[in-house]
C-alpha cells in the first residue's frame, strides 16, 4: 500500500467520525462517547505512524518539507493533548462538545495542509517503490501504536 494513500484513507476514516459526531443529537451522550473514543484511537494511531515513520522519512528524503513537518508536529502536539483531555471528560460536561468542535477544526486544518501543501512534494520526489515500502512499514506499525495519546512523541514539550 502506498504511504500517502494509506494516510489519506485514515484521514477519510476520521472525517466520517467527525460527520457522525456533528449529526449526533445534543443529548446523545452514549453515542458521542463512543465516537470520541474511536477518534482517540484513530488519531493516536495515525499521529504515531506519521511521527515514527512518515515524517522522518519525508524530512530525510525531501529536505524542503522540513518546516512543514515541524509545524505538523506542533499541530499534533495540540491534538494529542486535547485527545488526552477528552479521554477523561464526561460527555455531559458543558465543555465536551466545544472541545470536540475545536479538535475537529484543528484536525481538518492539519489534514488540509498535509494533503494540499506538502504531501504532493513528497509524492513528486520519492519513488513509487519507496512510498510503497513506507506504506508497508506504517501498516505494520499500527499494531504497535500506544492507546494513550500522551505516549505519542509530539506530546512531549
Summarize as ranges the residues that interact with Fe ion (CB under 5 A): 50, 114
Name the nearest CA neighbour of 51 among 114, 101, 95. Answer: 114
Taking the C-alpha atoms of residue 90 and residue 19, their distance in angstroms, rounded to an integer, is 20
Name the nearest CA neighbour of 17 among 38, 31, 44, 33. Answer: 38
CA distances to 23, 99, 140 from 6, in Å: 26, 27, 12
Cβ contacts of 73 within 8 Å, gap of 6 or more:
51, 55, 153, 154
Residue 32 vs 110, nearer CB to Fe ion: 110
- Find out whether 86 and 99 touch, Cβ atoms under 8 Å: yes
CB of 61 to Fe ion, least distance (A): 17
CB of 73 to Fe ion, least distance (A): 8
Residue 17 vs 114, nearer CB to Fe ion: 114
Residue 24 vs 134, nearer CB to Fe ion: 134
Taking the C-alpha atoms of residue 54 and residue 137, their distance in angstroms, rounded to an integer, is 9
Helix (H, G, I), strand (E, B), or coil: what is residue 2?
coil
Amino acid at each position: 500500500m502506498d504511504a500517502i494513500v494509506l494516510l489519506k484513507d485514515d484521514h477519510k476514516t476520521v472525517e466520517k467520525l467527525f460527520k457522525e459526531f456533528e449529526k449526533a443529537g445534543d443529548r446523545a451522550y452514549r453515542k458521542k462517547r463512543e465516537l470520541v473514543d474511536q477518534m482517540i484511537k484513530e488519531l493516536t494511531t495515525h499521529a504515531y505512524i506519521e511521527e515514527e515513520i512518515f515524517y522522518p522519512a519525508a524530512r530525510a528524503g525531501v529536505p524542503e518539507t522540513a518546516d512543514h513537518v515541524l509545524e505538523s508536529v506542533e499541530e499534533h502536539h495540540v491534538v494529542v493533548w486535547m485527545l488526552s483531555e477528552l479521554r477523561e471528560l464526561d460527555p455531559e460536561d458543558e465543555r465536551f462538545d466545544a472541545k470536540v468542535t475545536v479538535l475537529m477544526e484543528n484536525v481538518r486544518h492539519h489534514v488540509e495542509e498535509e494533503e494540499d501543501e506538502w504531501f504532493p512534494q513528497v509524492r513528486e520526489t520519492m519513488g513509487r517503490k519507496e512510498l510503497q515500502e513506507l506504506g508497508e512499514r506504517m501498516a505494520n506499525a499500527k499494531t504497535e501504536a500506544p492507546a494513550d495519546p500522551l505516549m505519542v512523541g509530539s506530546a512531549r514539550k
